[in-house]
A = this chain, B = another copy of it.
Amino acid sequence: MQNFEFHNPTRVIFGVGQIASLAKHIPSNARVLMLFGGGSIKSNGTYDEVHAALAGLEHPVLEFAGIEPNPRYETLMKAVELIHRENVDFLLAVGGGSVVDGTKFVAAAAAYDGDAWDILKIGGKVVKAALPFGAVLTLPATGSEMNSASVISRAETQEKRAFMSPHVYPRFSVLDPAKTLTLPLRQVGNGVVDAFVHTTEQYLTYPANAPVQDRFAEGLLQTLLELGPQVLARPDDVEVRANIMWTATMALNGLIGVGVPQDWATHGIGHELTALFGLDHAQTLAIALPGVLQIRREAKRGKLLQYAERVWGLHAGKGSEDERIDAAIGNTRAFFEQMGVPTRLSGYGLGSEAIDAVVAALEAAGLTGLGERRDITPGDVRKALQLSL
């Protein structure tokens, strides 16, 4: 295990009905801006519940609507203007990972003296302060509700950039699984795939003698394998939703990643696919992961065999090492497909031209190496994606 620091100050308020307790967690004299996306929070009642919970604040709650999936810098800067104009001092994200990610950027940008694009261009280290904010989560997937990371897209330049800063941990996040019951199945499947790949990015690297982190990651993967089919079979089961929600939070709140190498090549490739072709984030991960695991089977052999055994029950008796690795990767692909997320470019009407574009974009961005050893080249990315044509 490597040395590490872990500090996650986000307060999680979990369970059906918890939105009603919101006001306890926001100063009563705060000037609150509520940020959200499209209309789903209005149709599923979340919008009204939040307003009812905050009715006792001294100042009326302002609103900023229209944060997109893959939230855009251009949109978010309008929220920053509103904040300055109205002297907003507390933000409340109501939505999924995109709204939370967007709110993190807004919180940092509103407190930043200079060109806010620096935060994404130079990185989170330029962030020295941020407005305080909380979140009401309606879509379990990204883990943004309990971490300090944010991914923002710039429409103008087709860039998708991430930043991290300890200043953008949510002060609190309300996780009410009943709010996820009305999600379209496509988003449910995406969320399961997203949480799954967040876990593998921190687990399928090389053995680092970190048994707790390994067991926790395996536990999250096993749980997703159990719950994924259940949520499709019983979409009204709020207990299943609750457990998926908690799994997705735990998959990317930093805990399973302490002291171990991390990969994130699949995300690096996926971000390009989204930026270029507008695919959902989880769709891009489902395309990229199987190929990445295949081309990295030697570097990842130890952990792939452990994954095969502990997550898929492919014990030593069940074929040669390579057969077990192939079966584990194949099972992973089949699980994503089962969740309604195609794992091949052809499933989205894309072909080899998409691979050329991704490779060109990575080269243009000056990629020198992805993965836990920073040695995955654009040529390797081409090979990985060719396995998912």
Is the pair B1, A242 in contact by a Cβ cutoff of 8 Å?
yes
Is the pair B12, A5 in contact by a Cβ cutoff of 8 Å?
yes
Residue of B nearest to A1 (CB): B242
* 7 interchain pairs, CB-CB under 8 A: A1-B239, A5-B13, A6-B14, A212-B243, A212-B246, A215-B216, A216-B219
Is the pair A220, B227 in contact by a Cβ cutoff of 8 Å?
no
Residue among A10, A219, A220, A239 with most chain B CB within 10 A: A219
- In the bound assembly, the distance between CA atoms of A211 and B227 in angstroms comes to 9
Is the pair A5, B9 in contact by a Cβ cutoff of 8 Å?
no
Q: Does A28 contact B (CB under 8 A)?
A: no
- Top-10 shortest CB links A-B: A3-B15, A215-B219, A7-B11, A6-B12, A211-B223, A9-B9, A4-B14, A1-B242, A5-B13, A209-B239
CB distance from A38 to the nearest CB of B (A): 28
Q: Does A302 contact B (CB under 8 A)?
A: no
- In the bound assembly, the distance between CA atoms of A17 and B5 in angstroms comes to 13
- In the bound assembly, the distance between CA atoms of A303 and B198 in angstroms comes to 29
Give the contacting residue for A15; candidates B2, B12, B18, B239; CB below 8 A. B2
The count of identical subunits is 2
Q: Does A8 contact B (CB under 8 A)?
A: yes
Residue of B nearest to A14 (CB): B4
Is the pair A220, B209 in contact by a Cβ cutoff of 8 Å?
no
- In the bound assembly, the distance between CA atoms of A242 and B14 in angstroms comes to 32
Residue of B nearest to A176 (CB): B3
Residue of B nearest to A247 (CB): B212
CB distance from A209 to the nearest CB of B (A): 5
Per-residue CB contact flags for chain A residues 209-237 toward chain B (1 = under 8 Å, else 0) read 11110111011101100110000000000
Q: Does A16 contact B (CB under 8 A)?
A: yes
Give the contacting residue for A3; candidates B5, B16, B212, B247; CB below 8 A. B16
Q: Which residues of B contact A13 (CB under 8 A)?
A: 5
Q: Does A259 contact B (CB under 8 A)?
A: yes
Is the pair B1, A5 in contact by a Cβ cutoff of 8 Å?
no
Q: Does A250 contact B (CB under 8 A)?
A: yes
Per-residue CB contact flags for chain A residues 185-224 toward chain B (1 = under 8 Å, else 0) read 0000000000000000000000001111011101110110
- In the bound assembly, the distance between CA atoms of A44 and B211 in angstroms comes to 27
Q: Which residues of B contact A247 (CB under 8 A)?
A: 211-212
Q: Which residues of B contact A227 (CB under 8 A)?
A: 211
- In the bound assembly, the distance between CA atoms of A297 and B9 in angstroms comes to 38
- In the bound assembly, the distance between CA atoms of A4 and B11 in angstroms comes to 11
Q: Which residues of B contact A12 (CB under 8 A)?
A: 4-7
- In the bound assembly, the distance between CA atoms of A239 and B208 in angstroms comes to 10
- In the bound assembly, the distance between CA atoms of A72 and B215 in angstroms comes to 37
Q: Does A258 contact B (CB under 8 A)?
A: yes
Residue of B nearest to A16 (CB): B3
Residue of B nearest to A3 (CB): B15
- In the bound assembly, the distance between CA atoms of A219 and B209 in angstroms comes to 14
Q: Which residues of B contact A258 (CB under 8 A)?
A: 14
Residue of B nearest to A18 (CB): B3
- With contacts A3-B17, A218-B219 known, what are 8 further pairs, Cβ within 8 A? A1-B15, A3-B16, A8-B8, A9-B9, A211-B243, A212-B220, A215-B223, A216-B216
